[in-house]
A and B are shown apart, each in its own frame.
Chain A
C-alpha cells in the first residue's frame, strides 16, 4: 500500500497495525486522525470506471446503444455448438462476434443459459473451442441461444 507522502513500508505497517489491533474488534471505530482524501480519489476512480462501458457503447457508433445492438446481431456469425455432458447431448445456437466490435460485451454470459446447460462458463468456452474450428470471437449472451438436447422435454418432440 503506497500513499502520497509515505513509502510502501509505511502503508504496509499501517495495514498490519489495523489487522493486529482493530480488524473485527470493538476498537474498530472512528479516529479523529483519519484522512478521507483518498476516499475522494477512489470515488472518482470508481465513477470513471463505472461510466466507461456506457461511453464505449455510445462512442462506438455515435448513435447510441440500440444501434450497437443491431450492429452486433448483424456482425455475429450464428453457429451451433454441440457437446456431450454426463447425462445427454446438448447443442446451442450461439453468436460468435468479431473481437473488434466491443470489448465490454465480452465475458457476459446469461446466467439462466449457464444453468440450463449445467456447465460452468469455463467448460462451455473450452467446449466451444474444441467443437468449432474457428472460435475466434466471443459468445454473445445478448443473442439468446436456442438450446436443444435430449435432456430437455421440448427437444424430444423436435
Chain B
C-alpha cells in the first residue's frame, strides 16, 4: 500500500499526469479477484479508453532486484517497450517460473485482460 501511495504521489506531481490516471487498491484477490473484477465490470471510464493496466501484488523487501517477472506482458504489443525499460533499469526479464500454477489467470491484472485491456503483473519473481 505504501508503494502504491508513493507511486501515486510522485505521479501526481509529474507534468505528464492526467485526470484519467487511476491508482486502484483492489480487495479480495484471494477470494477470486473480487475487487479487480468489480472495477473491470464497472470501470470509471470506458474500458476501451484504458491503454494499460499495471498490477503489483506483493513485493519482497530483500534489496535491489536485478530480475523482474512481468507476467503476461509478453502477450501484449506493449512488450517491446517493457523490454526496453527493463533494460534501462538493468532488470533481467525472467519468464514465469511456474506457468503450470496459472498465476497469469488468477492475478488481478486478469480482470482487465478479460476486457481487452493490455495488462500484466510485475514482481521480482517466484510468485507464491
In the assembled complex, the Cα of A109 lies from the Cα of B7 at a distance in Å of: 27
Q: Which of A11, A14, A42 has the most CB of B within 10 A?
A: A42
Residues of A within 8 A of B117 (CB): 108
Contact B92 A2 (CB under 8 A): yes
Report yes or no: B63 in contact with A50, Cβ–Cβ below 8 A.
no
CB–CB B6/A43 < 8 A: yes
List the count of A-B residue pairs having beta carbons below 8 Å apart: 167
Identify whether the interface residues of A are mostly helix, strand, loop, or mixed.
helix
Q: How many Å lie between the Cα of A119 and that of B108 in the bound state? A: 22
For the side of the interface on B, what is the size category? 35 or more
In whole angstroms, how far apart are the Cα atoms of A47 and B117 in the complex?
A: 18
Majority SS at the chain B contact face: loop
Given contacts A3-B63, A3-B66, 20 further A-B contacts (CB under 8 A): A3-B64, A4-B63, A11-B124, A14-B60, A34-B61, A38-B64, A39-B6, A42-B3, A45-B85, A46-B54, A47-B10, A49-B85, A50-B21, A50-B52, A55-B16, A104-B52, A108-B116, A110-B116, A111-B115, A141-B48
